[in-house]
């Protein structure tokens, strides 16, 4: 069977430019959530978010393009011209719309993710084929699953998946109105968690069939081995309390990968820090893994919730963890919730299996699960 493998990836996160600062930041247990200095937070539920250091709102270049341009420019020579591009985002270049409403500058239509896709295609130098996938906060994990599916079915043999979202007044005010934000900093799986902290990130993953990667002597980072997408069909903003939707996504992903639950060595949870999400996730995980505690962690106490980019960021970190056989601490976890005891830790947890699971959920009840496998040969120069 054809395998869908990652041959290149990079990202910018609130820990800085590149994968290494993010991995090291998470492993240090120090959060990158900081005070917002981009817009006034006087009337918002929190002053904090995980923003990329040095990123500033300017007239001529969106925050998103400030993140994507340096990242993609570096790998243009390695992107085949016929590569299909998938963009995953929830709001894309939303500042363009903000400026339109505030100053009547530009055109609101220019904020559409389709326009951003065109810019990415131009930047990447590919021949124009692409799509935008949006599934709320599961956007990039859903996009990765579709990219892998198109490769495994031999429809395509090279896909560039780009994911991005930024911290904006538009989004922060919205989450604030839903009372979904922690006033301080997100504390996933903590007894005293109060909500999420927003974050921003951008990144890409170049995926190929294993045949093509081998033919072109590409370093392989890891395999997107299986995937499952489901919907709770229950509530527009809240997850289904029983976790059935997410557990079905996990089961579908295991089946798609042809692995059993016993082969999963660790789990990158969505772990937003909201009361209901984290509780639902532990129930879903326990439904599948029973009483066998698997190391579970969330990166969102460190990176914040990077929305449409979360699935990509977490997949890259999952590949790092497979490479190093250790999962990072769940940052900001002080007093563990009873449901997560024995599974989630404020410290690093080691594991041996070369297979891991990454899950995401989002508004509208969307759930995604990805089964990821370690590369047979180590790709030291990438991770």
Q: Which positions touch other proteins (CB under 8 A)?
A: 40, 43, 90-91, 94, 97-98, 100-102, 108-109, 111-114, 117-118, 121, 128-136, 142, 146, 149-150, 152-153, 155, 169-170, 173-178, 227, 229-237, 245, 248, 252, 256, 363-366
> In the numeric block, which tokens belong to residue 356?
């891991």
Q: Which residues pair with 207 in a beta bridge?
A: 6, 159
State in angstroms the smallest separation of the CB of 103 from other proteins. 11
State in angstroms the smallest separation of the CB of 192 from other proteins. 24
State in angstroms the smallest separation of the CB of 73 from other proteins. 21
Cα distance between residue 264 and residue 228, in whole Å:
15
Q: Residue 228: phi, psi to the nearest 5?
A: -145, 135
- Active-site position among 45, 158, 166, 305: 305
Place of tokens 């089964």: 371
> In the numeric block, which tokens belong to residue 28?
């240090």
Which of 233, 290 has the CB closer to other proteins? 233
Give every CB contact of residue 144 below 8 A, 6+ residues apart in sequence: 88, 161, 205, 207, 224, 227, 311, 312, 315, 370
Q: If residue 95 lies in a helix (H) or strand (E), which one and from where to where?
A: helix 94-103
Cα distance between residue 259 and residue 251, in whole Å:
10
State in angstroms the smallest separation of the CB of 251 from other proteins. 12
Query: Dihedral, CA atoms, 298, 301, 302, 308, nearest 10 degrees?
Result: 70
Which of 247, 298 has the CB closer to other proteins? 247
Q: Residue 221: phi, psi to the nearest 5?
A: -85, -40
Cα distance between residue 92 and residue 201, in whole Å:
11
Residue 305 catalytic? yes
For residue 330, give the nearest of 302, 364, 367, 358 by alpha carbon.
302
State in angstroms the smallest separation of the CB of 65 from other proteins. 18
- Active-site position among 137, 158, 164, 320: 137
Which of 242, 353 has the CB closer to other proteins? 242
State in angstroms the smallest separation of the CB of 223 from other proteins. 17
Which of 111, 321 has the CB closer to other proteins? 111
- Active-site position among 22, 158, 270, 320: 270
Q: Which residues pair with 357 in a beta bridge?
A: 267, 371
Give every CB contact of residue 374 below 8 A, 6+ residues apart in sequence: 222, 319, 322, 323, 354, 355
State in angstroms the smallest separation of the CB of 46 from other proteins. 13
Cα distance between residue 276 and residue 45, in whole Å:
18
Which of 68, 248 has the CB closer to other proteins? 248
State in angstroms the smallest separation of the CB of 109 from other proteins. 7
Q: Residue 150: phi, psi to the nearest 5?
A: -65, -30
Cα distance between residue 328 and residue 318, in whole Å:
10
Which of 199, 228 has the CB closer to other proteins? 228
State how far Cα 151 lies from the chain centre.
Answer: 20
Cα distance between residue 121 and residue 86, in whole Å:
10
Place of tokens 């699935």: 311
What amino acid positions are annotated as catalytic residues?
137, 270, 305
């Amino acid at each position: 069977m054809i395998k869908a493998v990652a041959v290149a990836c990079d990202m910018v996160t609130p820990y800085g430019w590149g994968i290494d600062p993010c991995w090291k930041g998470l492993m240090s247990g120090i959060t990158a959530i900081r005070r917002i200095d981009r817009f006034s937070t006087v009337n918002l539920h929190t002053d904090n978010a995980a923003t990329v250091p040095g990123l500033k709102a300017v007239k001529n270049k969106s925050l998103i393009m400030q993140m994507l341009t340096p990242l993609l420019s570096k790998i243009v020579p390695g992107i085949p011209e016929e590569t299909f591009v998938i963009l995953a985002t929830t709001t894309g270049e939303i500042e363009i719309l903000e400026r339109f409403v505030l100053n009547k500058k530009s055109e609101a239509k220019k904020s559409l993710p389709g326009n951003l896709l065109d810019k990415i295609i131009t930047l990447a130098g590919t021949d124009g084929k692409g799509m935008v996938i949006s599934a709320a906060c599961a956007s990039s994990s859903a996009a990765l699953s579709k990219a892998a599916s198109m490769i495994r079915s031999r429809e395509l043999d090279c896909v560039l998946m780009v994911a991005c979202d930024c911290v904006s007044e538009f989004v922060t005010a919205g989450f604030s109105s839903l009372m979904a934000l922690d006033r301080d900093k997100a504390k996933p799986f903590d007894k005293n968690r109060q909500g999420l902290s927003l974050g921003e990130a951008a990144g890409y993953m170049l995926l190929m069939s294993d045949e093509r990667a081998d033919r072109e002597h590409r370093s392989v980072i890891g395999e997107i081995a299986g995937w499952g997408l489901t919907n709770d069909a229950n509530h527009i903003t809240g997850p289904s309390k029983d976790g059935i939707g997410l557990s079905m996504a996990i089961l579908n992903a295991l089946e798609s990968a042809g692995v059993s639950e016993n082969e999963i060595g660790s789990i990158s949870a969505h772990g937003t820090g909201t009361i209901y999400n984290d509780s639902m996730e532990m129930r879903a995980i326990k439904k599948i893994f029973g009483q066998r505690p698997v190391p579970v962690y969330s990166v969102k106490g460190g990176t914040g919730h990077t929305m449409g980019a979360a699935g990509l960021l977490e997949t890259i970190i999952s590949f790092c963890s497979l490479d190093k056989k250790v999962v990072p601490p769940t940052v900001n976890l002080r007093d563990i919730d009873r449901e997560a005891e024995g599974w989630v830790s404020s410290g690093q947890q080691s594991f041996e299996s070369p297979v891991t699971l990454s899950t995401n959920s989002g508004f509208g009840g969307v759930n995604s699960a990805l089964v990821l496998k370690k590369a047979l040969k180590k790709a030291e120069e990438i991770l």
